[in-house]
Structure 1
Amino acid sequence: LDGLTAEFVEKTLLTEDALIEQCRDADALMILREPITARVLAELKNLKVIGRFGVGLDSIDIEAASRAGVQVTYVPDANLVEVSTHAMALILALARRLKQFDGAVRAGRWAAMTDGAGITRPDRQILGLIGFGQIGRLTAERARVFGYHVIAYDPHMPAERITAGGAEPVGFDELLARADIVSLHVPATPETRNIMSAGALSRMKEGAILINVSRGGLVDEVALADLIRRRHLAGAGIDTFEQEPPSPDNPLLALDAVLVSPHAAHYSTQSYA
C-alpha cells in the first residue's frame, strides 16, 4: 500500500456481526475465510472491492456482491503446489499406515508389522481424481512419479484434455469402482455438494481410501465414518470439514484410520508471502 493514502487495518473477523461492526466504513476488504454474506454486503455501504487471497469463492455471496456493485477478485494459482503436495502427503501416509505404525511404536509395540496389513506398492494401485483442474492435474503429476496409475472424472473437461494431463478419463461410477484411493479436487457448488454421499461412498472399492483437500460439504462424514468402522473403507485423509472447526463428537475424529488437518492444505511460508 506504499504511496496510497489508505489506512490498512488487520483483523480476524469470522462472524457476520463482527464484520459489520468492524468494517462498516471499509472501502475494500482483503479476506481469507470471512463470511461475506448478503447481510454483510448490505451493511457495508462504502465497500467497492473484495480481494480473496486464495482460490475458492464459496465464502462470498457473489450474486449479492454483483447486485451491490462490489467487485470480487481472487488468486487462482495462490496455493496449487501446497494443496497438491498436501494431498500426496495424506495419500502416502495413509497408504503406508504411518499413523498406525507411529502409535504402535509409541505404545511400546515394536513388532507391529501386522498393523500394516494390506500395504501395496503404488505401481499396483489406482488413484482416482474427482475434478481435474489445476490442482487435480498437479496432483496427478506428483502421483505418477510414485508409480500410481491415475484415472480422473471431470464432467466439465474434454476427455482428450484429461488424457493430455496424464490421466485416464472415466465416468464417476467407474472411478469409484476402480480406484484404490479417491481424491477430491472440486469447488463447493450446488452441483458438488454431498458428491460423496452415503451411496457414493458405499460404491467405492472395498479397502479404498478417501482424500478431501477441497471443501467441507462434499462428503457425508457420518456415512464415511461408518464405512471405515465396518472396514469397507481403509481410511480417510480429511483437511476440510462441513463444520469448521469440527465438533469434538464428529465420528471421524474417533477413528485411528483417519488422518486430519485443520484446513491447512493451502498453507506454506510462500503461499502466505
Structure 2
Amino acid sequence: MRIDARGLRFDVITGGPEHGEPVLLLHGFPQHAGEWNDVMPTLHVAGLRTYAMNQRGYSPGARPEAVEAYRLAELVADAAAVLDALGVDSAHVVGHDWGAVVGWALAAGHPERVRTLTAVSVSHPAAMAYALTHDPKQKARSAYMALFRRPGVAEKTLLALNASGLRRLLRGVGDDARLAAYVDPMREPGALTAALNWYRAMSRTDLAATGPVTVPTTFVWSDRDVAIGRAAAEACAAHVRGDYRFVELAGISHWIPDQVPTPLAEAILARVRPAA
C-alpha cells in the first residue's frame, strides 16, 4: 500500500492478521522493506500485523533532494507519521542497520509510540557516537562512511562495473536473485544518492543527543558484523532504562534478517511476548 504522510508518499508492505498487534519494520542501507520477507511469516503465524515501510529516499514518492531532509529527526518523524496514517497509536518497532538507528531514536524521543523495540545490528546512536570517538577499532570499521559522504564519488564508486561496489558491500545476503533484489532498485535514477544522503546528513551531535530508551528493548548483534564491533554493541546497555536483552548471534555477518530470519523472528517474538 502507499501512505501519504508529511507531503511524501511511502510504500508499505502489510501482512498478518488485520487485528493483530502492530509491528513496524524499518530496513537499512542499501536495502528496502523486502529484507523482512523471510522474517514476517513467523510473526504472522504468531498473530502479529506487520507494516514494513520503504523509508525516506527508498520510496520513489519520498525522495527529497536536500541533504538536510535526511537528518535523523526527519526520519523519526516519518515513522511516527506513517503510524498516524495507519491509525496505529503505538507499535512494536523492529529496525535493522539504519532502521535500528531510527528505531532507537523513535523509542527514546516518543516512547508512547513504541510498545517494544528490537534493534538489529546497529547500536544505540549515543553508544555509536561514543564508540566513533573513543574506540579506534570502531573508527576503523566505520571508515567507509567517509566515502559515502562524498557526493558523486560514492555513487560512481558503488555503481561502477555493474554495481560491483554495491555487490561487494552486500556480500552475504544470499543468492544472486536476492542480491539483485537489493542492487537493482539502487540503480534507478536518484535512488542511491537519496540513500547515501542518510550518511551525508548524519552528525555525531545528532547521534549523541539521542536519549535513553525506557521501553522494553532487545538488541540483536552478530559477532562477524564488519560494521559494528563488540565495544559499540555492548555499550548499548548503558542507554536503556527499561527491560533489556542482548542477543548475540555467532558466525553471522551484518545481514541478519537475510541470513538467519527464523532466529531473528524468535528474538522479536520473545520481546513482544516475553511470557510466551
Give the shorter-chain TM-score range. 0.3 to 0.5
Q: Taking structure 2 as the reference length, what is the TM-score of the superposition?
A: 0.35
Based on CA coordinates, which of the two structures has the bigger radius of gyration? Answer: 1
Q: Taking structure 1 as the reference length, what is the TM-score of the superposition?
A: 0.35
Q: Which has the higher contact order (CA 8 A, sep 6+)?
A: 2
